[in-house]
Structure 1
Amino acid sequence: MNTKKTLKRELILKAASMIVHEQGVEKLTLEAVAKKAGVSKGGLLYHFPNKDELILGMVEQLSTSFVSEFNERAENDMHSKGRWTRAYMNTSFSGDRNASDLYTALSAAQFT
């Protein structure tokens, strides 16, 4: 069940990811994220006390999502031979934005 706090956190993380994806990591500031998410800077700081915590949150959320999708694909694959490779490739290159967002978050982490 998603609480209001969880939904707000997800909104902030999505806004941060969009900024990095659309404008580049150099434009990722707490002010820009707060504006994009439609929250006050204080509201953002409640969830993420600094930029490092925000980026860590992006990486954690998207990594968890990627791993969950990967595991689901592997478990549902009827052919045991090559199941993990297929699951990884299909998750990485699926039409789902999660993989793209994960690489965006990892890029932000790398450059900060």
Structure 2
Amino acid sequence: MSLANQRKKEPDVVRQKLLECAAQILVDRGLANLTVQAVADAAGVTKGGLLHHFASKQKLTAALFAEQLRTLDAEIDEAMAKDPVAYGSFTRAYVRSTVRGDLNGPCPCAALSMSTVTDPDLRRAWGQWYKARLVRHHDTDGDPELQLVRYATDGVWLADLLAQDGEPPIDRPALIHQMIELTRKR
């Protein structure tokens, strides 16, 4: 009898482990190396076990992207709850969550996020999330100046993805400080 047959069935735990392993493979090896077999091996399950939870690589990446959006959403909500100034609070949280001062380079699932450029389903999911946030925070973050800060944030994120080895790193704390200052009412 194999170890898989002896182990207690915990589908939620296995599903989460698969997502964690997929995220780690993305960070370590990139989207091109995210295969069903590689994720199954990393999680210690059979390929069939993975396919029980995610019917295809596309379903796995969609679930991973949805998990990334939930994490980003929670992080932004937490930052906004701590922000004493309503005006620009979503934009400040978006800047801090996207252009992280504690990371040197792109966020862990940057390769997956980059695939929004080529994958219509992921692009649609991102667009729906972003539009819903803009509608929800229109009263505090609808000014065009704040939109420019969010566009600049996206540009920094893209620059991180396209950076070549050996390029000097950006002074993230200074950049974040300047972007946050732009969100203050004058």
Scaled by the length of structure 1, the TM-score of the pair is 0.81
- Which of 94, 99, 107 is equivalent to 2:114? 107
Q: Structure 1's 86 and 109: CA in aligned 2 closer, same or farther, altered over 3 A? A: closer
| RMSD of equivalent CA atoms | 2.2
Partner of 1:11: 17
Partner of 2:82: 76
Are 1:89 and 2:95 matched, yes or no? Answer: yes
Could you tell me whether the CA contact under 8 Å between 1:70 and 1:88 is conserved in 2? yes
Are 1:40 and 2:46 matched, yes or no? Answer: yes
Question: Aligned letter for 1:77?
Answer: D
Greater relative CO (CA pairs within 8 A, separation 6+):
1
Could you tell me whether the CA contact under 8 Å between 2:27 and 2:109 is conserved in 1? no
SS of the equivalent of 1:106 reads helix
Question: Aligned letter for 1:56?
Answer: A
C-alpha displacement of 1:94:
5.6
Gaps of 5+ in 2: 1-9, 120-186
C-alpha displacement of 1:76:
2.0
Higher helix share: 1
C-alpha displacement of 1:48:
0.3
Are 1:60 and 2:66 matched, yes or no? Answer: yes
Could you tell me whether the CA contact under 8 Å between 1:59 and 1:105 is conserved in 2? yes
Question: Aligned letter for 1:13?
Answer: L
Q: Distance in 2 between matches of 1:107 and 1:70?
A: 20
Q: What's the % identity of the aligned pairs?
A: 28
Which contiguous aligned blocks of 4+ residues in structure 1 show a shift greater than 3 angstroms? Answer: 107-112
Scaled by the length of structure 2, the TM-score of the pair is 0.51
Could you tell me whether the CA contact under 8 Å between 2:26 and 2:33 is conserved in 1? yes
Are 1:23 and 2:29 matched, yes or no? Answer: yes
